[in-house]
Structure 1
Amino acid sequence: MNQSVIKALGLLDLFSKDKKELTLSELAEKSGMAKPTAYRLLSSLEECGFLTKIKNNNQDVRYRLGLKLLDLGSLVAEHLELRSIALPLMRELSADIDEVVHLVILDRDEAVYIEKVETNQAVRLYTRVGKRSELYSGSGPKLLLSYLPEEERQALIEKMTFKKLTEHTVENADMLKEEIRQIKEQGYAVSRGEQNLGTIGISYPIRDYTKEVVAALNVSGPEARIDDKLEGMVKEKTKETALRISAELGYTGF
Structure 2
Amino acid sequence: MPRVVPAVSRALDILELFLHRPQLSAREVMERLDLPRTTVHELLVTLVERSYLIVVPGQPVQYRLGLPLFQLGAAFAGRLDLVHEAQNVTREVAAVCNEAVHVAVLDGADVVYLVKVDSTHPVRMVSGVGLRLPAHCTAVGKVLLSSLGRAALDDVLAKGVLPGMTPDSITDPDRLREHLERVRADGVAVDVGESDGAMRCVAAGIRDHSGAVIAAMSVSAPIIRWTPEAHGEWTQLVRDGAARLSARMGYPQQSR
TM-score of the superposed pair, with normalisation by structure 1: 0.69
Contact 2:134 2:163 in 1 (8 A): no
Q: Which residue of 2 aligns with 1:208?
A: 208
The alpha-carbon deviation at position 176 of structure 1 amounts to 0.4
The alpha-carbon deviation at position 78 of structure 1 amounts to 9.0
- Deviation string 1:90-117 (CA, Å, 9 cap, x unpaired) is 1011010000000100123321001100
3-state SS of paired residue (1:159) = coil
Within 5 A, what are the aligned runs for 1:12-23? Answer: none
Q: Which residue of 2 aligns with 1:112?
A: 112
Say whether 1:246 aligns with 2:246. Answer: yes
In 1, the alpha carbon distance for the partners of 2:160 and 2:95 equals: 37
3-state SS of paired residue (2:225) = coil
Percent pairwise identity? 29
The alpha-carbon deviation at position 219 of structure 1 amounts to 0.9
Say whether 1:189 aligns with 2:193. Answer: no
Contact 2:137 2:164 in 1 (8 A): no
In 2, the alpha carbon distance for the partners of 1:106 and 1:162 equals: 16
Within 5 A, what are the aligned runs for 1:1-254? Answer: 2-3=6-7, 80-254=80-254
Q: Which amino acid aligns with 1:3?
A: A
In 2, the alpha carbon distance for the partners of 1:105 and 1:171 equals: 21
Contact 1:110 1:134 in 2 (8 A): yes
How many residue pairs get matched?
A: 186
In 1, the alpha carbon distance for the partners of 2:8 and 2:130 equals: 28
Supply the RMSD in Å over aligned alpha carbons.
Answer: 2.0
The alpha-carbon deviation at position 2 of structure 1 amounts to 2.4
The alpha-carbon deviation at position 160 of structure 1 amounts to 3.1
Structure with higher Rg: it is 1
Contact 1:211 1:253 in 2 (8 A): no
Runs of 4+ in 1 over 2 A off after TM superposition: 1-6, 76-79
In 2, the alpha carbon distance for the partners of 1:105 and 1:198 equals: 23
Q: Which amino acid aligns with 1:226?
A: W
TM-score of the superposed pair, with normalisation by structure 2: 0.68
In 1, the alpha carbon distance for the partners of 2:93 and 2:252 equals: 21
The alpha-carbon deviation at position 128 of structure 1 amounts to 1.0
In 2, the alpha carbon distance for the partners of 1:223 and 1:4 equals: 44
Structure 1, gaps ≥5 residues long:
7-75
Q: Which amino acid aligns with 1:80?
A: L
Q: Which residue of 2 aligns with 1:73?
A: none
Contact 1:100 1:219 in 2 (8 A): yes
